Each structure stands twice: as C-alpha cells, then as structure tokens.
Structure 1
Amino acid sequence: MISANTLKAIRLTHNYLGVFFAPTILFFAITGGLQMFSFHETTRGSSYVPPAILVHLSQLHKKGTLYMPKREAVPPAAPKADSPKPEAPKPSPSPSSPPPPNPLPTKIFFAATALSLTLSTCTGIVLAWKYARRKLVVAGVLLAGIVCPLALLLL
C-alpha cells in the first residue's frame, strides 16, 4: 500500500507539472485545432489569406521555430518536346477507383478533441488555483510555464 506521504508527493508533483505545462498544452491544442481546418495556409483556388499571426503560430507548432524560410517563386515549366501538348485531352481516371474518403468527420472529431483539451486544461488551472494552499507558488509555476518556452525561442 502506498503511504499518505507518498500519495501527497505524487499529487503535488502532478499538480505542479500540470500547471507548468498548461500554457504549452493550451498552445498546441488551440493551434492544432486551427490547423485542422487549414486556417494557417492558403489553399489552391481560394482567395483566403491567413492572418500573419496564424502563419507564425502554425510554424512554431509544426517546426518549433518562428523562422519562416523564403519560398522562391517557381517559374512555369516549359513544355517538353516529347510530352503531350496542353490541348490534348487528359485520360480520365479509371471508373473502378473508389471515391476518396470524406475527411470532414475526422476533422470535426479532432477539433472537438482540441476543444476538450483546451477546456480540460483551463479547468485544471482553475482547480489548481482554487485548492492551492500556497497560491503564490501556483502563480509562479504558471508564470514559469509561460516564460520558459518564450525564453527557449530566443536561444
């Protein structure tokens, strides 16, 4: 059987680790939910231009850096002599191929997961604050969970 002191140490460790990593969990849940519906990028044939903040936050989420490599414009390729002319009809796909699966239900499920993770994390912060005997320690750990990742970005 686990002693009361061991359980208390486990509970406090869980509490402080949860508070410390809560800002990072919120960041990844929110930016991941936005990426699920491609709010961070322009899609082909769309006039949507994402806000710069979403582009940078997405870069941080996916690559761990705010550095955005410059993309050079690719010039249109000249038609090759042995390739079919652009006016030539393209062969139609075989009629026996099944239609691609609809990704919308999966996207909705993962967006709901991101929302649940966000709400659960916020609830955890509130509970950690409300039931803390030393609120200043909880506030310090939460502040450290915000400052540490920001400081690591500057390295």
Structure 2
Amino acid sequence: MRTLRRVHTYLGVFFAPLLLFFVLTGWYQTVNHDRLKSPAEAETLLQKLRTVHVDQIYPSEHEVKRPSSRTSFQVLVVTMAIALVVTVLLGIVLAFRSIRNPWPVCAALVLGLLVPVLLLWLGHPH
C-alpha cells in the first residue's frame, strides 16, 4: 500500500505541470473556435500555447523545422498519458482500499461514468 501511494504521488507531482498545461490549453480550444491554419499564424501567447498543444512546437518568426524536438515532446506526452492512466487507476485502487465503506467510492465512480454519457446523449439531436 505504501509503495502504491509513493508511485501515485511521484507520478502525479512530476506530470502535474504538463497535465495542467494540456487541460488549460484544451479548455481554451474548447471555448475558442477560432482555429489557426498553420503555426505561423499564432500571434498571441494563448495562440502559441494552443499551437504547442496541437502541433507539439512553439511557433516563432523563424519557422525552423526540428522534427527531433517535436518527436521528443511527443514521447514525453505519450509517457505523460500512460502515467496519467496508471496514476488514475492507482487513485481508484487507493480510494477503495483506504475507506471502510466502499459504496460512496463506487457511487462516485459510476456517476463519473454516467454523467458525461448522459450529457452527451441529452445534447445529441434525436
């Protein structure tokens, strides 16, 4: 149990800044529908950060193609995604193991599955 908590903590803390970046830039993309045709069109800081989110490069005036840095960033993001899945699963295991009555945890987990599905279904034209 102690090892699970440590792995959960260290993965969460290490990837927290990158996860927050992707959550915030993804949120910005969700509410701002002005899409750029190319990274070179990014002018504001938010547009540049959105370009990092979508294209894995930080746009600059000197449009230099560096596929190795893009690939390195993609490897980091894939690693982050895998670590997030592991951390979430560890969090669920820890939630069930650290509470005497598992019903509230189970109810929260089921609601976490059903509410998004219900909202998508309600928003779908019938």
TM range (shorter): 0.3 to 0.5
Calculate the TM-score normalised by the size of structure 1.
Answer: 0.37
Tell me which structure has the larger Cα radius of gyration. 1
RCO higher in 1 or 2 (8 Å CA, sep ≥ 6)?
1
Q: TM-score, normalised by structure 2?
A: 0.45
